[in-house]
């Protein structure tokens, strides 16, 4: 985070070229979401069948989620997972290009989230690269509070976030995790002001002291402790939310669990493990229900990865 050597094993850079992305953006403008989806079925098939790297990147998660699937079944799983990611990327472009009225998104437990915010200590929303977090961001306007989002923009990434299409105005602030102090001080000020802070809880950005190992799908993964550390420092509650696709143009943003971190737990990384594990458990329940809506296309598992040498690309961080 900022001043430390990063131990991240992923990149958010898109697989496609800028030209390919522009074709899809044009397709959405001309033929809408359905036209883009139609093209997507063939594009995804091409990538899955002809690019071994795509199958390899998907396999890390799929072999954990579907350990008994081999051969054609694994290939089908890869296609379904990649297709869901493609649809989410199209949906978020639709949101940015055609406007929020083209996507129906429901924020469940809105009253509960408002109650958490009303405690006056800010609210940490921990999400994952599952479903479409960007659609949930659009929903958060309902909370009527300022929203800040910790997000890293990969240099050279050509895929646009929905708010970068320029057609819509979405009032949330971006905090860069590669900025000064990893954005920690900015994030703390957000919570001190009683506002909403969104952090992705499933990918590591900072140095060795910034993450902790937790169990996920039968193995150990590393997750950032910053959400839990900030909650402990500020007294803010944590709401774990996962948006998922429920229909072609429909999403539901579900409150998975609320995590309360005791105040002033100190500097010991281990103290935050139980709370990080609670997040991981909620994520396990999500992928059990929506197996193809999880988009970490890299080896998350500690024992099977060599973080320093083997950097795998995810198809996109923003899914």
Partner 1 sequence: MDTKTKLKHALADELNLPELKEATFDDDAPLFGQGLGLDSLDAVELVIVIQKHFGVEIKDMDESRSAFASINALAAYIDQRLAA
- Looking at the Cβ atoms of 90 and 205, the one nearer to partner 1 is 205
Residues 258-287 that bind partner 1 (CB under 8 A): 264, 266-267
Q: Residue 233 CB, nearest distance to partner 1 (Å)?
A: 5
Q: Residue 179 CB, nearest distance to partner 1 (Å)?
A: 9
Q: Residue 313 CB, nearest distance to partner 1 (Å)?
A: 25
- Looking at the Cβ atoms of 189 and 257, the one nearer to partner 1 is 189
CA 226 – CA 45 distance, rounded (Å): 38
Residues 127-186 that bind partner 1 (CB under 8 A): 180-182, 184-186
Q: Which of 16, 206, 227, 243 binds partner 1 (CB under 8 A)?
A: 206
Q: Which of 189, 246, 257, 277 binds partner 1 (CB under 8 A)?
A: 189
Interaction of residue 11 with partner 1, rule CB under 8 A: no
Q: Which of 57, 161, 229, 245 binds partner 1 (CB under 8 A)?
A: 229
- Looking at the Cβ atoms of 131 and 224, the one nearer to partner 1 is 224
Contact assessment for residue 104 and residue 251, using Cβ atoms and an 8 Å cutoff: yes
Take residue 316 and report the two structure tokens written for it: 């996109």
CA 211 – CA 276 distance, rounded (Å): 9
String marking each residue 87-106 x if it binds partner 1 according to CB under 8 A: --------------------
Interface with partner 1 (CB under 8 A), residue total 24
Q: What would the DSSP string read from start to end of 11-76?
A: E---SS-HHHHHHHHHHHHHHHHHHHHHHHHHHHHHHHHH-HHHHHHHHHHHHHHSTT--HHHHHH
- Looking at the Cβ atoms of 135 and 225, the one nearer to partner 1 is 225
- Looking at the Cβ atoms of 234 and 315, the one nearer to partner 1 is 234
Alpha helices (H) along the chain: 18-50, 52-65, 71-97, 110-117, 133-139, 184-192, 226-234, 273-289
Q: Which of 89, 230, 259, 261 binds partner 1 (CB under 8 A)?
A: 230
Specify the long-range contacts of residues 257-266, CB closer than 8 Å, at least 24 apart: 257/281, 257/282, 258/112, 258/116, 259/126, 259/228, 259/231, 260/231, 261/228, 261/231, 261/232, 262/232, 263/232, 263/233, 263/235, 264/232, 264/233, 265/228, 265/229, 265/232
Q: Which of 32, 207, 219, 291 binds partner 1 (CB under 8 A)?
A: 207
- Looking at the Cβ atoms of 32 and 207, the one nearer to partner 1 is 207
- Looking at the Cβ atoms of 7 and 59, the one nearer to partner 1 is 7
The position carrying tokens 């998975």 is 256
CA distances, 240 to each of 4, 9, 309 (Å): 27, 23, 32
**Chain residues that interact with partner 1, rule: CB under 8 A:** 1-4, 180-182, 184-186, 188-189, 206-207, 209-210, 225-226, 229-230, 233, 264, 266-267
């Amino acid at each position: 985070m900022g001043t430390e050597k990063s131990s991240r094993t992923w990149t958010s850079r898109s697989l496609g070229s800028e030209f390919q992305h522009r074709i899809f953006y044009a397709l959405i403008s001309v033929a809408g979401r359905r036209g883009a989806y139609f093209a997507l079925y063939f594009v995804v098939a091409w990538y899955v069948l002809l690019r071994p790297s795509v199958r390899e990147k998907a396999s890390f998660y799929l072999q954990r989620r579907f350990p008994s699937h081999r051969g054609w079944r694994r290939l089908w799983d890869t296609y379904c997972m990649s297709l869901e990611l493609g649809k989410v990327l199209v949906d978020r472009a639709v949101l940015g290009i055609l406007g929020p009225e083209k996507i129906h998104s429901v924020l469940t437990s809105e009253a509960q989230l408002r109650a958490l915010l009303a405690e006056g200590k800010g609210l940490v929303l921990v999400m994952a690269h599952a479903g479409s977090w960007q659609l949930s961001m659009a929903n958060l306007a309902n909370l009527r509070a300022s929203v800040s989002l910790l997000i890293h923009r990969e240099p050279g990434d050509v895929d646009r976030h929905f708010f970068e299409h320029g057609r819509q105005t979405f009032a949330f602030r971006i905090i860069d995790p590669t900025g000064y102090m990893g954005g920690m001080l900015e994030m703390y000020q957000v919570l001190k002001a009683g506002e909403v802070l969104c952090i992705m809880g499933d990918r590591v950005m900072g140095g060795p002291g910034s993450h902790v190992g937790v169990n996920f799908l039968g193995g150990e993964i590393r997750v950032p402790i910053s959400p839990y550390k900030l909650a402990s420092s500020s007294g803010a509650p944590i709401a774990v939310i996962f948006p998922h696709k429920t229909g072609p143009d429909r999403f539901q943003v579900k409150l998975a669990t609320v995590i309360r971190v005791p105040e002033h737990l100190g500097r010991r990384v281990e103290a935050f493990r139980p709370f990080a594990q609670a997040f991981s458990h909620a994520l396990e329940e999500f992928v059990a229900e929506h197996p193809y809506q999880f988009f970490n296309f890299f080896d998350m598992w500690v024992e099977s990865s060599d973080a320093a040498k083997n950097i795998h690309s995810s198809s996109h961080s923003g899914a």
